[in-house]
Structure 1
Amino acid sequence: MRYKRVLLKLSGEFLSGNGFGIQPDATKTLAQEVAKAHALGTQLAIVVGGGNLWRGARQGVGMDRATADYIGMLGTIMNALALQDALEFLGVPTRVQTALTIQQVAEPYIRRRALRHLEKGRVVIFGGGTGNPFVTTDTAAALRGLEMNVEAVLMAKNKVDGVYDDDPRKNPQARKYDTLTFHDALVRGLQVMDGTAMTLCQEQGLSIIVFDMFKEGSLEGVIRGEPIGTLVHR
């Protein structure tokens, strides 16, 4: 089964090479993987985080929480623009839409316009999260995925090829799940998405696939329907 329309959730670290800021080589490598997936003909939306530029829980200590979160939203827009630039350099038509209005650099989020972009074969990158503080970009991914009528949310992970019952980087005996229900993931406290995002996906029946983005060709394989990563379903 090949997915016709998906939403890819990326963390900001994919643009930083596991460091800080935006690194051109890391962003180019990421864009190449996205471009290969786009070439399959699948309609592709993206939500990108901003942890490579700002982590409110650490850098925003002592700040008003809403202000710290808005700074983080601006970081996600910076990442969205960097990824757009890298994709368009590869010839992939791309649009950035933001939940915060910055018309000089991106379109404001308009659902019908975003759907039209997808139908025309453009990659749509959503920046600015949901536009609201106290909400993570995981929740933004779930919300935009539902609004875009995608078939699955693809959760890209950093060198972890799915959901495990323990941290596989620390425990070599950790067991990987090939499939998992939302209920089991929530009850066991497994790190798939944040709880709000998972509950939203569970209620609406939107599946999540957790996979290793750093493994070359994995995004293409997931879109082709190959048994890669962990499928989280209702």
Structure 2
Amino acid sequence: MSAAQKSRYKRILVKLSGEALMGDDAYGINRDTLNRIVAEIGAVAALGVEVGVVIGGGNIFRGVAGASTGMDRATADYMGMLATVINAMALSDAMRQAGINARVQSALNVEQVIEPYIRGKAIRYLEEGKVVVFAAGTGNPFFTTDTAAALRGSEIGAEVVMKATKVDGVYTADPVKDKSARRYERISFDEAISRNLKVMDATALALCRDQSLPIVVFSIFKEGALRRVVLGESEGTMVHS
């Protein structure tokens, strides 16, 4: 049996936060952390899995934070989208240096540096074995990159959205503040929404539920976690219909 046959999924969408790129830095992109994340993605791509990535921009600018200081919310959100373009370019360049064939597509029109998002072309890239990085969220203000991940995952026919976070799953309470908090192995969308568990924002959760698109929450800082999820091993928390 080949490595590709062993993988549980053929096509996945990884949601990567901008903050994940900071490492221990206060802001920006930590090169060592970036390279380690690229290695995790590369290990999965090497299994023959088709990988799409939606990346956030919180390490550079958060639209919600900008709006809280009095900035127009739509303007702040567009600035946040441009921050995701910077992260996507950095991620793509790191992949290139690691020998991984990657393409970046942007929901905002910045054709001088990145090609626009075209669904059919993105799917063709995936079928050719290229990692596709989706930048600029949905291209619209007032929507998070979580929602962008649910949307792109649905559009490209991903079998699962894998949300890479700082914690290794969804817990009954904040595991940092409450030592008795326990991790869910599986939980339904309705339970996650009714209990207000911080899996994704409500719009993203509702979209994934309506499309029967499961979400796996795992720690990107746990070595090999992404690969273990893809191989169907016990890792993180699955949110399902």
Where does residue 40 of structure 1 map in the other structure? Answer: 47
Which secondary structure state, in structure 2, belongs to the residue aligned with residue 176 of structure 1? Answer: coil
CA distance in 2, matches of 1:30, 1:227: 20
Residue 124 of structure 2 corresponds to residue 116 of structure 1: yes
1:57, CA displacement in angstroms? 2.3
Match of 2:33 in 1: 26
Count of residues paired in the alignment? 233
Shift of 1:59: 3.1
Which residue number in structure 2 is paired with residue 183 of structure 1?
Answer: 190
Greater CA drift, 22-31 or 74-83: 22-31
Which of 7, 11, 17 is equivalent to 1:11? 17
Give the aligned residue type for 1:15: L
Q: Can you list the C-alpha shifts for 1:176-208, whole angstroms capped at 9, x where unaligned?
A: 111000000000000100000000011110000
2:141 maps to 1:141:
no
Counterpart AA for 2:110? I
What is the rounded CA distance, in whole Å, between the counterparts of 1:20 and 1:26 in structure 2? 12
2:48 aligned counterpart, secondary structure:
coil
TM-score (norm 1): 0.97
Paired with 1:74 and 1:125, the residues of 2 have a C-alpha distance of 14
Corresponding residue for 2:4? none
What is the CA distance between 1:32 and its match in structure 2? 1.2
Query: 1:37, 1:14 → 2: CA distance?
Result: 18
Deviations 1:129-176 (A, max 9, x none): 000000000000000000000000001111x11101100011110011
CA contact (8 A) 2:66 2:73 kept: no
Match of 2:61 among 36, 54, 67: 54
**More displaced, 21-30 or 197-206?**
21-30
Residue 233 (structure 1) aligns with: 240
- Pair 1:104 & 2:133 matched: no
Contact preservation (8 Å) 2:63, 2:78: no
Q: Is the 8 A contact 2:52 2:134 kept in 1?
A: yes
Gaps of 5+ in 1: none
Residues 60-99 of structure 1 aligned to structure 2 (within 5 Å) = 60=67, 61-99=69-107
Deviation at 1:36, TM superposition (A): 1.1
Q: Tell me, in whole angstroms, the C-alpha distance in 1 between the residues paired with 2:96 and 2:123.
A: 19
Distance in 1 (alpha carbons) for counterparts of 2:161 and 2:70 = 34
The one-letter code matched in structure 1 to 2:186 is: T
Query: Following the alignment from structure 1 to structure 2, what is the Cα–Cα distance between the partners of residues 3 and 109?
Result: 24
State the shift of 1:113 in Å: 0.1
Q: 1:214 aligns with which of 221, 233, 236?
A: 221
How far apart are 1:2 and its partner, in Å? Answer: 1.7
